[in-house]
Amino acid sequence: MPERRGLRAASARRAALVAAVLAGAAARDARATELEVDARTAAQAYQVTGPWTGSVLDRRRLTQTLGLAAYDLQGTRRVGAPSYSVALLLRLDADFGVNDRLASDQAGGETTYSGPAAAGSRYVPGLRPAPIDLVYGYVEGRDLAHGWLGFRLGRQVVSDVLGWWSFDGALVRLTTPAHVRAEVYGGFEQRGGLPLSTARYESQGVWRGSHSDFGVSGDSPRLTDYPSYQYAAPAPAFGVVAESVGLGFGHARVDYRRVYDSGVSVTQQFPDARGGYRAIDGLRLSSEKVGVAAEGDVLGRARARAGLAWDLHAARAGSAFGSVEGYLGRRVTLGADVDWFAPTFDADSIWSWFTHAGVLTTTGRVGARLSREADVAASAGARQWYTEGDPTTFAASECQAAAREGRIATANCASGGTFDASTGAARDAASQDASRATTATTDGIANASARYAWPSGLASARASLRVGARGRRVGGDVVGEKRLSGGRYTLGARTSLYDWADPERPERNATSFGYVIGVGFRPATSGALRLEWEHDMNRLVGQRFRVLALLDVWVGR
Amino acid sequence: MSRRASWWRAGARLAFGCVAAATLGVCLPRAAAQVTPPGAAGTPVAGATAARGASPAPGSERAPGLELLPPGAARSPTPSDEIFPPQSLPLRFDHKKHVQGLRVRCTSCHAAAITSDAASDRLLPAGTTCDGCHGSDHGAREGARGTGSLGRCDLCHAGAAGAGIARVVVPPPNLRFSHRLHAARNIGCGQCHGRVGEVGLATRDALPRMAGCVRCHDTIGPGQGAAKAECPTCHLTRADGRLVQAFATGPLVPPRWLRGAEHGADWIERHRAAAAEDSGFCASCHTARECADCHDGRVRPRSVHPNDYLSMHGIAARQDSPRCVSCHQEATFCADCHRRAGVARDAASGSRATGRRFHAPPGEWTAAPRGPGHHAWEAMRNLGACVSCHTERDCATCHATKGVPGGQGVNPHPPGFASACAGPLRRNPRPCLVCHASGDRHLGACR
């Protein structure tokens, strides 16, 4: 028996060596134009319950993505020589559950304003049962003019310190031998309500969409029925970038981007005496941001990284981060991270000018690679939330000011007596600097994760804790996946246990246990099927189920 | 009792020490020492396979230390399995004796190295290279047996005594490399291969480390030449320009010292800063589609949102962890569902639950004075969460100035806003006009 095992081991070793040789050889081939087709069909069915009983949405979703790409359109590929390619990714996201829960007298009411039921009694402006969008689609040229120039033309995604963003237009990249690269781009921001577009990349705070079915007939919604639902219109945008390139010890990048809103926008949220609404038209700023980020080596034993995104319109830092990590021995990494985030909004949004603060998160972390297969990581820290004024004493100072004017008895301040705080000394007290001093509340956060991966499987576990004045959430999950017959079959499982409590809504406190069982089948080298069954249980929803089927087909990938 | 306690203490100390040492890599075998030594010269080593590791020089009991290994070995004790797949070297060879003792030049045996333009070129000497000195005849059909003691098969070949000559298997590296270009720049062998002339059998451990490569490729100025520290300079690329990442020995992932981008167990939580700082680096391996699968995804990624996330997303949004806007446009993605479920304030009349209220009672949540449970504090802390359910109309109900329909004149602006509002008003007056009439004295002051 030992001899047989030895033979098997030797055979496996030889097979691995042969595979390595073949893989290496295959990877080195220079080829002519290459085509890739990549399609994913995802079918999901699950239910969404509202916070109150009786409100259940059926989600029966079919998401179909289709990716097409052609590389090396110029013919034979040579390293450093000009190359051209096209790539696009189309997506259909249909939900057959839209309208489905409605009674027959309200049929189609979520997407159609008119109907047998009262006009608009179920209507959700902008809701589409089967939107199609182009995630990206562009022509690209690389290494033109002896490596100096590159371009992209079409819908493309930009990811930088300013965020994840998409536009339709052109990007030109100039790479110099002096380790500096410049980019200039311009076009139109991808916006919801425009053809083949989603609202994902718009700035926050504005609800926009197509009004094509508004005001077209007597039983369609009037143009002013939903004054907060803004008209989608092309949004001109441009940006410039400068960054270092080709330096392993560090990198730095500076970004500037400006986006404009255009077209009609209703401003007045309630009708005036004549029933009219005011609106504004024309080109106006949507967002203007500048960002800088850098990363580098510190004495060969640590790395440091920092970034800042500054909203020029709101004149505030939308986000900032910094981190440093040091290497203790060959296996252990120690790090500290700080992250600042303050919501910023489209310049069309009123929330840009509402008093609001950012969130500061500070954590320390440790990671250890125990072996080639196993690693663990843990982090812990604090998240601070800020307010202008102390929530615990603010009302008392208002009340005492009102009491001095005799509008309320001082004794009633302690018992929560009410008065009009928008006038007189109470209003003045609320606006005084002393009353608006910045006050912080702190949440504790902690994460831990571990992973063990071997050639035919993966086991991992993670746990997280969020605790503070804003509630508590603690839990974790364990995941296992095993590939059989060289990856032809896959078995997977995930189980989780979470507990949460929200002091604002204690009736929503719950403990949840859930598990997922999945099987996969790969009938060919260019296709895979995966089925998953999820079963969650908590006292709020009882039992909740979700099924997911994924079919991937690809050619040339 | 005290003896038992001392045993416990000792055991605990031992366990703690082992865990700490294992974590720090002290009591685990050094990666560089994970060898199957082919044995000292003259000792039969049938079937020896130097899959990895450095070979002790003849007469030495120790594998070469860092001082003999290539530059960068301090950071990467062993070369990457993905770049340099495991080899089978059933050989005995003494570089030290040949190079230092016999003064044989590297190119005497590895002549092709200085003209090689591809990493896949085979640069190991053929057996016939040895024949001139050893008196063997590798060209002979029946075998290469020599006549003298130097020509014996088992002098060099492990297993030659009985089981025949085991084959040397050296898979080509998954790399783009030109020995010729490096040699032309007067870069000596040792600059990449370390002090290979002082070891016995040169194994994978004498192969270059990436940390060593970037020592030169990172320099600024003429010393660098045309080869910058960009990934495709050395790594194999796909047609779309991304690196080839899937290898028989495992996936290609960045070492921790490279841009601080070790894809460890907590990478899903940490990758944001790396991507924000240099997404081009990420794009060396990842497509926009991979990003979109999560950040604009339509299938919930369980690595981000665990099981039953629908039930707990409310409190997660209150804690803004994970950050909702990383993937969602709140006014549409979140609010559309909230409108359908009747949670949003402007949900259609037929979807709204009558007599139900999401927040605390109005006396606490909206009415003055501003107690600890007032919505103003929640809005200041986490305004994004408000946007996931509320529209401008909801806020303008009270915050618009008196005189504007619906306005109660509750000022939502931060202190000092009046002195800073001119610029925003000029660039985009739209939000101002939601709450202020065009002839409003506040707007006049701003102008």
Asked if residue A330 has pLDDT above 90, the reply is no
CB-closest option in A355, A496, A501 to B413: A355
In this complex, do B417 and A353 lie within 8 Å of one another by their Cβ atoms?
yes
In this complex, do A16 and B417 lie within 8 Å of one another by their Cβ atoms?
no
Chain A CB contacts of B329 under 8 Å are: 192, 199-202, 204
ipTM: 0.90
Predicted confidence band at B225 (pLDDT cuts at 50, 70, 90)? low
CA proximity to A288, closest of A266, A243, A256:
A256
How does pLDDT run across B87-133, given as a tens digit for each residue?
A: 988 888 999 999 999 999 999 999 999 999 999 999 999 988 998 88
Predicted confidence band at B12 (pLDDT cuts at 50, 70, 90)? low
Strand partners, A543: A537
* DSSP calls for A234-279: --EEEEEEEEE-S-TTEEEEEEEEEEEE-S-EE--SS--TTS---E
How does pLDDT run across A10-19, given as a tens digit for each residue?
A: 555 555 545 5
How does pLDDT run across A244-288, given as a tens digit for each residue?
A: 998 888 999 999 999 999 999 999 898 888 888 899 999 999 999
Highest mean pLDDT among A391-400, A416-425, A493-502, B356-365 belongs to: A493-502
Lookup: tokens for B46: 């049938």
pLDDT score for A223: 78
Q: How many angstroms away from the CA of B307 is the closest CA of chain A?
A: 6
Please give the average per-residue pLDDT across A126-143, as a whole number: 96
Q: Nearest-CA residue of chain A relative to B30? A: A330
Q: Match 């109150």 to its residue by tokens.
A: A52
Lookup: tokens for A352: 């840009």
In this complex, do B298 and A91 lie within 8 Å of one another by their Cβ atoms?
yes
In this complex, do A55 and B249 lie within 8 Å of one another by their Cβ atoms?
no
* DSSP secondary structure code for residue B308 in this structure: T
Q: How many angstroms away from the CA of A359 is the closest CA of chain B?
A: 7
Amino acid at B142: E
Chain B CB contacts of A268 under 8 Å are: 404-405, 433-434
* DSSP calls for A196-207: T--STTSPBT-E
CB-closest option in A164, A538, A550 to B311: A538
Q: Locate the DSSP E strands across B161-273.
A: 246-247, 250-251
pLDDT score for A251: 95
B275-302 burial: b if 16+ Cβ within 10 Å, else e: bbbbbbbbbbbbbbbebbbbbbbbbbeb
Instruction: State whether residue A290 sits within 8 Å of chain B by CB.
Output: no
Dist CA A386 CA A381 (whole Å): 17
pLDDT score for A20: 47
Asked if residue A216 has pLDDT above 90, the reply is no
Please give the average per-residue pLDDT across B230-242, as a whole number: 91
Q: Locate the DSSP E strands across A436-541.
A: 438-454, 457-468, 471-484, 489-501, 510-524, 527-538
In this complex, do B336 and A248 lie within 8 Å of one another by their Cβ atoms?
no
Dist CA A375 CA A458 (whole Å): 12
Asked if residue A159 has pLDDT above 50, the reply is yes
Lookup: tokens for B39: 């044995």
Instruction: State whether residue A367 sits within 8 Å of chain B by CB.
Output: yes
Q: How far is CA A470 from CA A36, B320, B364, B370, in A?
A: 48, 10, 17, 18
Instruction: State whether residue A541 sits within 8 Å of chain B by CB.
Output: yes
User: What does residue B444 show for φ and ψ, rounded to 5 degrees?
Assistant: -60, -40
Chain B CB contacts of A121 under 8 Å are: 348-351
Asked if residue A26 has pLDDT above 80, the reply is no
Predicted confidence band at B9 (pLDDT cuts at 50, 70, 90)? low
pLDDT score for B50: 41
Amino acid at A110: E
Asked if residue B55 has pLDDT above 60, the reply is no
Instruction: State whether residue A204 sits within 8 Å of chain B by CB.
Output: yes
Which A residues 123-152 touch B at CB under 8 Å?
Answer: 123-124, 126-127, 135-136, 142
Instruction: Specify the pTM.
Output: 0.87
Please give the average per-residue pLDDT across A512-525, as a whole number: 96
* Sign of the Cα pseudo-torsion (B411, B414, B418, B422, in order): negative
Dist CA A164 CA B297 (whole Å): 13
Asked if residue B60 has pLDDT above 80, the reply is no
CA proximity to B69, closest of B262, B211, B259, B224:
B211
User: What does residue A143 show for φ and ψ, rounded to 5 degrees?
Assistant: 55, 40
Chain A CB contacts of B168 under 8 Å are: none
